[in-house]
Chains A and B, each alone.
Chain A
Amino acid sequence: MALEVLAADGLVTVQDLGRPGWGRFGVPRSGPMDIFAFRAANALAGNPPGAAAIEIGLGDAVIRPTQDCLIAVTGAGYALTSYVWDFPLWVSLLVRGGWTIRLNKSGEGNWAYLAVAGGIETEPVLGSRSTHLRSGLGERIKAGDLLPVGRMAYDAQSLAARTLPGRFRPAYSQTPLIEVIPGPQTDRFTADGLQTFFTCAYALSPASDRMGYRLDGPMIEHSGSADLLSEGMTMGSIQVPASGQPIVMMADCPATGGYPKIAGVVSADLPVLAQCFPGQAQVRFRETTVEAAQTRWRELVNGLHTGIIKL
Chain B
Amino acid sequence: MTKSVYRRPLSDSAILVSLGDRIDPAVNRRVHALAALIEAAPLSGVIETVPAYVTLLVHFDPLVTDYASVADWVGGLADRAAENVSRTPRRIQVPVRYGGESGPDLGPVAAATGLTPAEVARIHTQTEYTVYMMGFTPGFPYLGRLDPRLVVPRLETPRTLVKAGTVAIAGEQTGIYPLDSPGGWRLIGRTSLRLFDPAAETPFLFAPSDVVRFVAEAVDGA
Query: Are A24 and B49 within 8 A (Cβ)?
Result: yes
- Contact pick for B135, options A26, A184, A237, CB 8 Å: A26
Q: Beyond A135-B137, A256-B136, is A294–B9 a contact (Cβ under 8 Å)?
A: no
Contacts of B10 in A (CB 8 A): 183-184, 232-234, 237, 261, 264
Tell me if B55 is interfacial: C-beta within 8 Å of chain A. Answer: yes
Contact size class for A?
Answer: 35 or more
- Contact pick for B50, options A24, A137, A235, A264, CB 8 Å: A24
- Min CB–CB distance B87 → chain A (angstroms): 13
- Contact pick for B62, options A23, A230, A235, A294, CB 8 Å: A294
Q: B1-32: contact bitstring with A at CB < 8 Å (1 yes, 0 no)?
A: 00000001111111010100111000000000
Give Cα A24–Cα B179 distance, bound, in whole angstroms: 17
Tell me if A308 is interfacial: C-beta within 8 Å of chain B. Answer: no
- Min CB–CB distance B175 → chain A (angstroms): 11
Query: Are A25 and B207 within 8 A (Cβ)?
Result: yes
Tell me if B211 is interfacial: C-beta within 8 Å of chain A. Answer: no
Query: Are B57 and A234 within 8 A (Cβ)?
Result: yes
Query: Are A291 and B67 within 8 A (Cβ)?
Result: yes
Query: Are A294 and B48 within 8 A (Cβ)?
Result: no
Report the interface size for chain B: residues with CB under 8 A from the other chain.
Answer: 47
Contacts of B148 in A (CB 8 A): none
Tell me if B47 is interfacial: C-beta within 8 Å of chain A. Answer: yes
Contacts of B51 in A (CB 8 A): 24, 232
Q: Using a CB-CB cutoff of 8 Å, which residues 181-203 of chain A contact chain B? A: 181, 183-184
Query: Are B57 and A181 within 8 A (Cβ)?
Result: no
Tell me if A298 is interfacial: C-beta within 8 Å of chain B. Answer: yes
- Min CB–CB distance B33 → chain A (angstroms): 14
Q: From B49, which residue of chain A is reached at the shortest CB distance? A: A24
Query: Are B134 and A290 within 8 A (Cβ)?
Result: no
Give Cα A21–Cα B179 distance, bound, in whole angstroms: 20
Which of A26, A27, A235, A236 has the most C-beta atoms of chain B within 10 angstroms of its own C-beta?
A: A26
Contacts of B140 in A (CB 8 A): 26
Give Cα A294–Cα B64 distance, bound, in whole angstroms: 10
Give Cα A137–Cα B51 distance, bound, in whole angstroms: 22
Q: Using a CB-CB cutoff of 8 Å, which residues 67-89 of chain B contact chain A? A: 67-68
Q: Which residues of B contact A (CB under 8 A)?
A: 8-14, 16, 18, 21-23, 35, 47-57, 59, 62-63, 66-68, 133-140, 142, 179, 198-199, 203-204, 206-208
Cβ-closest 7 pairs across A and B: A232-B57, A264-B11, A256-B135, A232-B50, A184-B8, A293-B12, A231-B52
Q: Which residues of A contact B (CB under 8 A)?
A: 20-28, 125-126, 134-137, 181, 183-184, 229-237, 254-256, 261, 264-267, 290-291, 293-294, 297-298, 301
